[in-house]
Structure 1
Amino acid sequence: MRVKLIKAVSGKVILMLCIASFLGGSLFTTIRTSIHSSLLHNKDADDELTTIANDFDHKIELVEGSSSSGDIMREVTKTHQAIQSLDKTISTLEMELAAVGRTRRLGSQLSSSEKESNRTHQNQIQKAFVVIGINTAFSSKRRRDSIRQTWMPTGEKLRKLEEEKGIIIRFVIGYSATPGGGAGGGVLDGAIDEEEVEYNDFLRLNHVEAYHRLSTKTRLYFSTALSIWDAQFYVKVDDDVHVNLGMLASTLAQYRSKPRIYIGCMKSGPVHSRMPILHRYANEDVSLGSWFIGLEVEHVDHRSMCCGSPPDCEWKAEAGNVCVASFDWSCSGICKSAERMKNVHNTCGEGDGVVWNVSL
């Protein structure tokens, strides 16, 4: 009985142990699987965090590498240079737009010189003995008036001088750079237009007025005058110089048989012939001398064309050597010419009727 009981008990125990072992094994397997899965998930997260961290560190290194003081200064310099280049480009475009606007305005209307050019070309280019261009500016109204009141005829006398003596006299001026207003594209141009209506003694150039562009203006004057008048001589004079027209005409008549001649006086000395042709110097007189002498034109240094103002020209007139032109050397023109032109004319002038008696 004891043996059977022991055996019976042992069988139940064994069965219970088997069931417990099965349940324990299942539970262990589930827990292990869960732990493994959790470990794998955590590993993937750690790897992702590691990757992000490494990438972030790499980006920080790149930023730090490009943000060194040397690189920053180079970038700042490049930016500054780009801004300067942009400013220059904008300035250039503004000037070009202004020039285009001026050209369009000029194209929409004919200047007095263009009207005269078209009129003369219809009946061939007008013949003339001499064309005298008086270089003037927008601010020189009083100077122009002083000339009209002294050595330059006006109105019908000016027309008669052209017809009978072939002496053409015009104030030479371009246009202002200021757009809008006035028939000529600006207030300054409008004032010149009104003055032209009153006196009809301007030669308007297709040129924007500026002091640093006097050489260009001088070149345009000669080319424009040549396209309008077929003259034996072309003269350029400033609006602060006194001229005796009769003496000028008789002096030029002495050289009319000589081709390719440049008559004048070099106030600052001779201009050498080894000069670049048509190089534009800051001073228009130097440019003019270099152009003509560079083109192998004979130069006649005629000192009566650069006499001093009274008493110099007065003494010469009393001695019978009337000056062609007079000015103050200290001013390269008559100092305060608007106030003093009449006095110079009364003192050194040849007389209003002399020019009409010159045989040409």
Structure 2
Amino acid sequence: MEMSQHHHPDSLLNVMNADRRRKPYSNPSSSTHSSKASLIMAFISCLAWLYVAGRLWQDAGNRALLSNLLQKSSRNLPRVVTVEDKLMDLGCKEIGRKIVEAEMDLTLAKSQGYLRHNSSSSDPRLLAVIGAYTGFGSRLNRKRFRASWMPRGDDLKKLEESGVVLRFVIGRSPNRGDSLDRNIDNENLKTKDFLILDSHEEAGEELPKKVKFFFSAAVERWNADFYVKVDDDINIDINGLIEILKSHHDRHGAYLGCMKSGAVVSEEGKPWYEPDWWKFGDDKSYFRHAAGSIIILSNSLAHYVNVNSASLKSYAHDDISVGSWIMGLDASYVDDDRLCCSSSRQEKVCSRA
């Protein structure tokens, strides 16, 4: 009994010691610091969340405001109006379609020779329109021509009444409206014997195109059986030329002149050089064409030049250019040596001035 009483306190003490050995040592001060750090981190996290949420809320508000402004602005912007919309608003869509059809009909009529500028169906048909080339520096030549073979004043009017129109042909200055243009306009006011080609620039490099502008302008202004281009360095026997034209009055598609052909000059720098020489084949030979001094086209051929002038190729020389245009057509070539100005034949109608 005593032994058991003395043994119990020892056992309890042993148990308490063992329990102390199992529990780790804890510092009260360390626990306090950990709690404070946790609170600080939680507070910072809360602030960060509030900041991010505020920015998101602000951005959403800005986007909504910008969207409203864009919608209001788009409603106030003018709508782009197309030609189709305008025609619909005016009720002119059908009229526009008819205008297009009318333009197509006009083009067809022009190609068939029914339309002429500044003329009417009641105008008498002329025998010929003769265009004598001239330039800004050729005033003395024009005076000499008027004093010799070219009628003036009342005689010019009588010639027109007989069916032949005769005009000096000239383009416009490269500097439009300068003294060159004004001098020609003033001279024309006195003599009234010019055909001024407003679409043509009177310059050396543009000379091959002049014949195209002449035929087109003459066809649109006068209705004639023939259209005659004449160089500015020859004298013309008007009566003899009229007789030749009358003899071919009924010939359709007539192409008249002093016909020739010859070698193409391919060496740059030489007279009559042709930059497009390679287009004339390995033999480098020109096709048959009326020499440059006098070129005569019938009504139908001149109309062809007028209608297709925009697409017709001009070579270095105007007589070659005209010959290339006619070569592919069903034309009647009339080679008359009376139209060869360098010929020795007595009955010729032209001679070098």
Select the residue among 176, 180, 190 that pairs with 2:182: 190
Secondary structure of 2:119's match?
helix
1:210 alignment partner in structure 2: 203
Q: Distance in 2 between matches of 1:280 and 1:229?
A: 24
Structure with greater helix percent? 1
Conservation of the 8 A alpha-carbon contact between 1:174 and 1:209: yes
Conservation of the 8 A alpha-carbon contact between 1:126 and 1:228: no
Q: Distance in 1 between matches of 2:350 and 2:179?
A: 33
Q: Distance in 1 between matches of 2:253 and 2:261?
A: 23
Secondary structure of 1:256's match?
coil
Q: How does 1:339-354 map to 2 (within 5 A)?
A: none
How far did residue 308 of structure 1 move?
A: 2.4
Q: How does 1:223-242 map to 2 (within 5 A)?
A: 223-242=216-235
Secondary structure of 2:327's match?
helix
Conservation of the 8 A alpha-carbon contact between 1:205 and 1:220: yes
Amino acid at match of 2:233: D
Amino acid at match of 2:316: A
Q: Distance in 2 between matches of 1:155 and 1:234?
A: 22
Conservation of the 8 A alpha-carbon contact between 2:119 and 2:222: no
Conservation of the 8 A alpha-carbon contact between 2:260 and 2:288: no
How far did residue 221 of structure 1 move?
A: 0.7
Select the residue among 151, 155, 169 that pairs with 1:153: 151
Select the residue among 120, 131, 134 that pairs with 1:133: 131
2:215 alignment partner in structure 1: 222
Conservation of the 8 A alpha-carbon contact between 1:131 and 1:167: yes
Amino acid at match of 1:152: M
1:291 alignment partner in structure 2: 325
How many residue pairs end up in the alignment? 194
Amino acid at match of 2:119: H
Mapped pair 1:253 → 2:250: no
Q: Name which one, 1 or 2, has greater alpha-carbon Rg.
A: 2
Conservation of the 8 A alpha-carbon contact between 2:131 and 2:229: yes
Q: Distance in 2 between matches of 1:302 and 1:288?
A: 17
Conservation of the 8 A alpha-carbon contact between 1:128 and 1:230: yes
1:323 alignment partner in structure 2: 348
1:271 alignment partner in structure 2: 287
Amino acid at match of 2:165: I
Q: Distance in 1 between matches of 2:288 and 2:130?
A: 26
2:168 alignment partner in structure 1: 171
1:305 alignment partner in structure 2: 339
Q: Distance in 2 between matches of 1:140 and 1:214?
A: 15
Conservation of the 8 A alpha-carbon contact between 2:234 and 2:341: no
Q: Distance in 1 between matches of 2:120 and 2:338?
A: 39
Normalised by the length of structure 1, the TM-score is 0.50
RMSD of equivalent CA atoms? 2.3
Gaps of 5+ in 1: 1-116, 180-184, 328-333, 335-360
How far did residue 143 of structure 1 move?
A: 1.1
How far did residue 256 of structure 1 move?
A: 0.8
How far did residue 199 of structure 1 move?
A: 0.6
Conservation of the 8 A alpha-carbon contact between 2:132 and 2:168: yes
2:297 alignment partner in structure 1: none
Q: Distance in 2 between matches of 1:123 and 1:257?
A: 20
How far did residue 197 of structure 1 move?
A: 1.2
**Which deviates further from its counterpart, 132-141 or 293-302?**
293-302
How far did residue 124 of structure 1 move?
A: 5.1
Gaps of 5+ in 2: 1-115, 263-285, 290-310
2:37 alignment partner in structure 1: none
Normalised by the length of structure 2, the TM-score is 0.51
Q: 1:189 to 1:248 in 2, by over 3 A?
A: same
How far did residue 127 of structure 1 move?
A: 2.4
Q: 1:177 to 1:162 in 2, by over 3 A?
A: same
